[in-house]
Structure 1
């Protein structure tokens, strides 16, 4: 009986120590991420939009949605749009950002950098 209790105690101690280690790592990386975000926020001069900016944006949006002339003007402007080098580079940078966010999401979802975790029997017929 004492062997079962000692095994259970060892298992419980192992689970507790691994949980504590995971919590400590999570707290550490959360603090690092928060400090990094705060630094970027301050250096870039970010600020939430004002109420006036919200009102102007939504008034323009509703005006656009209500007016077929505005929609037709918009479509005609962008039919003749020819991107220059600067806008192509900007689109490329946005594409790289999107690919990076996608890759990070995949890594988080798989919990591995390469491949997918193997569950159950690995031979497929």
Structure 2
């Protein structure tokens, strides 16, 4: 694995801008098949799952953050 080259970054930027420009057109959305919508939904679900796993790892807990109450904070001072 290596970082992308300048040409690869430019190509990706151009593709993203074209996608955003085309997404403004209703005609573009009508030409998308149900299979493509399903694939996009699965990619979105996968991205959300990775985000949630990252959150769990970051907080080192499945539920919420370990936040001390105001009373606990004042009791230690």
Question: Higher helix fraction: Structure 1 or Structure 2?
Answer: 1
User: Which residues of 2 match residues 7-46 of structure 1 at below 5 A?
Assistant: none
- Counterparts of 1:77 and 1:119, CA distance in 2: 46
Following TM superposition, the consecutive aligned residue runs of length 4 or more in structure 1 with deviations greater than 6 angstroms are none
Q: TM-score, normalised by structure 1?
A: 0.35
Write out per-residue CA displacement over residues 4-54 of structure 1, whole angstroms, 9 at most, x where no aligned residue.
Answer: xxxxxxxxxxxxxxxxxxxxxxxxxxxxxxxxxxxxxxxxxxxx6xxxxx7
Q: 1:109/1:78 Cα in 2 relative to 1: closer, same or farther (>3 Å)?
A: same
Structure having the higher Rg: 1
How far did 1:90 drift?
0.5
Q: How many residues align?
A: 58
1:104 aligned onto 2:53: yes
Q: Which has the higher contact order (CA 8 A, sep 6+)?
A: 2
Instruction: Give ranges in structure 1 of 5+ residues lacking alignment.
Output: 1-47, 49-53, 65-70
